[in-house]
Amino acid sequence: MTTLAPALPLLRIGPHTVQPPVVLAPMAGITNAPFRTLCREFSGGKGLFVSEMITTRALVERNEKTMQLIHFDASETTRSIQLYGVDPVTVGKAVRMIVDEDLADHIDLNFGCPVPKVTRKGGGSALPYKRPLLRAILREAVAQAGDLPVTIKMRKGIDDDHTTYLDAGRIAVEEGVTAVALHGRTTAQHYGGTADWDAIARLKEHVPEIPVLGNGDIWSADDALRMMRETGCDGVVVGRGCLGRPWLFGDLVSAFEGTGTRQAPVLRQVADVMLRHATLLGEWIGDESRGVIDFRKHVAWYLKGFAVGSDMRRKLAVTSSLEELGAQLQELDLDQPWPDGADGPRGRTSGNNRVALPDGWLKDPYDCAGVSADAELDTSGG
């Protein structure tokens, strides 16, 4: 059932108005320039579309892969970069580089990544547990950003016994952060279980001074409206719900603008988007074959729920040219309607993982002696 859009004030991220208040979540290996282009096209250019995670050390050192990842299409009018870092000095240098070289219009800081290779170094969703370190990073980033708005994305905490989001939200306000986004899960939950929307509501009550964006379990446009209504948040951040479904951003625009339009493409339309996605990746990488190979990870998401045999799925998973991909897609029953249930959960659903942390990390939230610049990753993209 379609729900009605709530009456909403404009979401402002510094000087930027985000209307409707919808943000594409940074996702490693996913939210590169081609995918952002697709999402933006379906939205009519409305919303905010964030790059995949950029490591501050790799940016400062001008790592070749990182320099490609920070590329924005000329049509991206609000260029949004997400940075990951654990060292205030390196984060500050990366932010200053972005400002001096006009590399972006908005900087988001990653304090929400639950991936073990990040958390075991004290980064991502592990970092807010160390309150002084979080404060030092935010203070340096805001100081170096000048007029560029700085936002953060975080989780509830490490686990239910070590929540951090309320303290982190207050520190963000005190250090001049423009907005905060909360994924309503802990690091231990990873992507399992159900997102805690009540936590998003509590954070909004705790930091009324700045916009709070909600993230987690938005699988449809109506989910986004429901989150806004139930939590009082100022905007939504959409991640796994758009995997293999970039047209979700068109649905979100329609929902927030009060129309009942929702897209349910037949397989022929989905196949057209698949081929365009692979084409854009090849153009971005500069190599058709590598673009198609990179696209393979998206195949299962695009075909979720459609009647496509296992043999054909295997063939699509090893394609290496646009001609081959197009020919295989033409072998499908392209008149299939949008499957029932395909609007539901997609992507990773693992949970209850043991959290990888530096030795002794949980002993004292105010002892940051074990964190050094060596914890910085030297590559970007998660």
Catalytically active residues, by annotation = 113
* Those residues with Cβ within 8 angstroms of residue 326's Cβ, 6 or more apart along the chain or in another chain: 275
Cα distances (Å, whole numbers) of residue 273 to 27, 47, 108, 266, 340: 19, 20, 29, 11, 20
Residues, the chain, total?
Answer: 382
Q: Which residues on adjacent β-strands are paired with residue 110?
A: 153
Q: Which residues neighbour 381 within 8 Å (Cβ) at sequence distance 6 or greater?
A: 28, 29, 52, 53, 54, 65, 66, 69
Four-CA torsion 110, 114, 117, 119, nearest 10 degrees: 70
Coil/strand/helix, residue 133: helix
- Asked if residue 338 lies in contact with residue 266, where contact means CB atoms within 8 angstroms, the answer is yes
Whether the CB-CB separation of 239 and 27 falls below 8 Å is answered with: yes
Give 243's contacts (C-beta < 8 A, 6+ positions apart). 27, 30, 298, 301, 346, 347
